[in-house]
Amino acid sequence: MRRPLKRGALLGSATAAILAATACSGGPVRVAEPTPDPAAAQACRELRLPAEVDGLQRRETDPETPYVAVWGSPPLALRCGVPRPSDPDSGLIERVVAIDGLEWLPEESDQPRVWTLVGRAAYVEVTIPPKYAPAGSPPGELLTEFTPALDKLPKKPEGQY
């Protein structure tokens, strides 16, 4: 039996609330900035994220930071350097989904959907509003838009998440 992730419930909900509050405004999107450790921070700063994702244009964020990027309205958000997902049942490996060669951990929650990239030098969280991945539809195609950039993050040793 799968249990919701504690971290996802807190950070995913906080990110969703911030995104919801700023989604309709025309200015910068307010997103909680992660505080990565030095190694993850360096890896995040080296990412070259796309100007467009699934036809959505990249938007400004508040605060302006190399660890957060958003596209579209409502905003699709990427946060690099988030904490490692916690797993009270140590069943993390069982829930990891491979999409286009990257390993993603879905948050077990309602909308918006939150997916965390695992197995790399930095954990990367992508928050997908229902508009872009309605309930029951897989987010795989949308997540593959990040593969060229995220695949450059150094891998952790096999089996380490």
Find the domain containing 44 and state its range. Answer: 6-150
Tell me: pLDDT of 1 over 70: no
In a domain, 158, yes or no: no
Residue 161 lies in a domain: no
Pick the more confident residue, 92 or 57.
Answer: 57
Residue 159: inside a domain:
no
In a domain, 109, yes or no: yes
Let me know if residue 14 belongs to a domain.
yes
Domain count, the chain: 1
In a domain, 76, yes or no: yes
Give the pTM: 0.82
**Pairing between strand 97-99 and 61-62?**
unpaired
Rg of the chain over Cα atoms, rounded to whole angstroms, equals 15
Residue 102 belongs to a domain: yes
